[in-house]
Amino acid sequence: MKLILAIIQTADEADTVQSLNKEGFFVTKLSTTGGFLKAKNTTLLIGTDNAKVDAVIAILKKHAGHRMQLSPVSGGDMRIFNPAGANMVEVPAGGCVVFIVDIDKAEKF
């Protein structure tokens, strides 16, 4: 048995947890803060059989992995970079840190 600890961005929490639940995984979520900018995030605790770890990882990559998204930019003359004058740029977002821990024994009661 494994315990998967996945630290994800809070913005990715709903879709990730919903997808995990839909595939039969039980999830405990904790609101956490950390990292260089002390940003809010969510830590998911997922207990599963060894054979199902790859399925959990695939869901995490799909819903909480790195992606590009549009973000507003303030200040400066953005027409230099964007002739249309829109104050939006594409920036990297998302990402997940995953720890997988062996569990010798787990009980529910």
Higher pLDDT, 1 or 79: 1
What's the pLDDT score for residue 75? 60
Q: Are 47 and 16 in contact (CB under 8 A)?
A: no
pLDDT digits (tens, 9 = 90+) for 16-68: 999 999 999 999 999 988 765 567 889 999 999 999 999 999 999 999 987 77
Question: What proportion of the chain, given as a percentage, has pLDDT over 90?
Answer: 53
Q: How many domains does the chain have?
A: 1
Q: Is 20 exposed, middle or buried (0-12, 13-18, 19+ CB in 10 A)?
A: buried
Q: What is the pLDDT of residue 40?
A: 84
Q: What is the CATH number of the domain that holds 16?
A: 3.30.70.120
- pLDDT of residue 82 exceeding 70: no
Residue 97 lies inside a defined structural domain of this protein:
yes
pLDDT at res. 83: 55
CB atoms within 10 A of CB 11: 14
Given pLDDT bands bounded at 50, 70 and 90, which one contains residue 86? low
Residue 50 counted as domain residue: yes
With respect to residue 49, please indicate whether it lies within any of the assigned structural domains.
yes
Containing structural domain, residue 16: 2-66+93-102
CA distance 2 to 75: 48
Per the domain annotation, does 76 fall within a domain?
no
